[in-house]
Chain A
C-alpha cells in the first residue's frame, strides 16, 4: 500500500490537490462542538472529513502536510457581513468580500440583505447563489429581507425564499419599527421555522444619533443615541415573541441592559438568541476620540461599562455568537465630517484574532471563544458547518495561536479598508484556510472554492 507523499502548505498552494486525500498532521486540533483539544491528524477525502484525532498513516496515496506548531479548527461561520453586491460594488463584491473572508479564516458567510436591490425576492437569492458559485472564495449564503425592500411595511415570501436557500430573514441595518408588522412577521415565519434577525435600535431614538449619548458626545457636540434605544426595541420584541412565538435573533447587541433583557427572556424559555461584534467587546465610545470616523458604528460604540457587560454576556452564554459585522465603505465615505461619515467597519479579516483576544485576556477558554464563531452560529443558521466531525465538510482553518501582527488597513484583502482596528496589535493569525478540503488561502487568497 502506498502511504503517500509528504508536502508543505506552500507546495500545496502551488498545486491542484483536491483529487488526492489530504492528511494534516501534528496540529493542535480544536473542536468547540465536541470539546476536542489535542494534538492529532485530520484526514480529508472527497471534500469531507474522514478522520479526526490520533495519528493516521494508513490513507493510500495521500498528501501529508506537517502542521505541527499550528492550531486547526473548523472554518469560521459569520452571521452577518455586507458583501455589497449587487449595488455597491465600489465598496465590496462577492469575490473581494469572500477573499477577505478566507483571509480571516471565515468559510461560511451569511451576507446581509442590504444590497441594491434588497434581497427580498427569490431571483435575488438566486443571484447571490450564482455569483457565489462563479466568483466566491468562501461559501456565501443569503440572508433575505424580512420586509419588502426592507421598508418595514410588507413581509417577504419567507417560505419561498427559504426554499430557494435563504438561511435567515432580517432587514439588516434597519429596525422593523412597526409593531404590527413585526408581530405578523414573527408569527408568519414561525410556520417555516425561519430565523428572524432584528437590528434592535428603536428608530425614533436612534435616527439622529451618530455616537453613544453621554458626556463625550456632549463635549464633541455630536448627537447621541441613548442606550435605551436598544433596550426598548429588544423589550418590545421579547413581548411579541412571548405573544406569537417564533425564532428571534437580535443582531449586534451592545449594551449591558440588552444582555440583561436577553438573559431574562432566555430564562423564561423563549426562543431568543443574539450576537455581538468585535467592536463592541474590544472598543468603547472613547475610540471616537477627536472625531475619528473609523470608530463610527451602527449601533454606536458604548461605554466601558457596556463593553464589560458584553464580555460577561459572551462568557455566560447569553450572547450566542460573534459576527464580523463586516461593513465595507470606500475611503471617501469616511473622510467626511463625523456626522456625515458612513457608520461601520470591515471585520472579516480581524474576526479570528479579535475572538482570540477574549482568550488572551483570560475571559474565556480557547474552545469557548472559538465556539462563538463556529458551531454556535452554524446551528442557529441550520448549517452543517463549524465542527471537526467525521462526515462533515472539510472547511478548516490553520492558525498560529501565538503569532502577533499589526493590522494595516492598506494591506487588507477587502476592497475597502475602513477598519476600526488599524494599527492595533493582534495575537493569533490565520495561516491557511481550506474549503471542502481545498486550500483556498495561504497568505494570499489562492483559488475560488
Chain B
C-alpha cells in the first residue's frame, strides 16, 4: 500500500509513496514513525516518487519540490518536512528540539540545538541498551507523556566516523546533508507508543578534548536551556513558560560535557538507566 497518515498532537500528515521503489525504501521508515496505512486520503501533503538515485520529494502544502540523488538526503528532507509540520501546527503539546530515549518506562530527554551533538550521543545511548524515541523532536502532553518523531538518526558526514564502532552493520543510508542511521544498525529498537514518564533531562555539550563532566544543573539554567529549545511556544498559553518551569523544578536535570565516546565512563550507561528506574 502506498498511502499513509501520521497523526501527532492533532496534526495529520498524509503521505503518498507513489512509486514501488519509494514504497519499498520508505515504507519501513514511515512505519517506524508510527504511521497508519490508509486506503485513500483527501489531501495529500507529502509525495515521494522515483527510484534510487532519482528521487522526487514534493510537499504540496508548502509548494516544495526537491530532486534528490542520495537515499540519506531523501530521508533527511522527507522526515524534516514531517518534523516541521508537526512542530508548526501542534497546539496542545510542548514541542521541544530534543532527542529522547527510554529504559523501561523512564524517558531521558536530551534538549539541544543543532550541532550540539545530540544525535551522536543518541547513537551511543541506543547502542548501550536504551530504546529509541527520537533524535530531533519530542512532544510533551498535558499528562507529561513523551512522544517523538522516530526518524532514522541523522548523522552528519563528519560524524559518521565517530559512531562507526557502535554499528552492528553498515546498512545506513548515505547522504550529503546527513547519513540516516536506522536504530537496527545499532542493535536497538524504537519505543512503541504507550505509557512512559519523564525521568530526567540531560543537556549535552560536545567539546573536542574537553574531558567528561556530568553534573546536576540548577533549575534556572535548565529552564533557560529548555525554553531555548521550545519550538511551538507561540501556540501555547503563556508560551508554555510556566508549564515548562514547573516541569523543570520537579525533574532531575543534568549537564553533560564530553569530547568523545572514549571520555564516557564505563558505568555511565548504568548511571543513566538508574535515573530511568528511580521513582
* Binding partners A and B: no
Query: Which positions in A face B, CB cutoff 8 Å?
Result: none
Query: Which positions in B face A, CB cutoff 8 Å?
Result: none
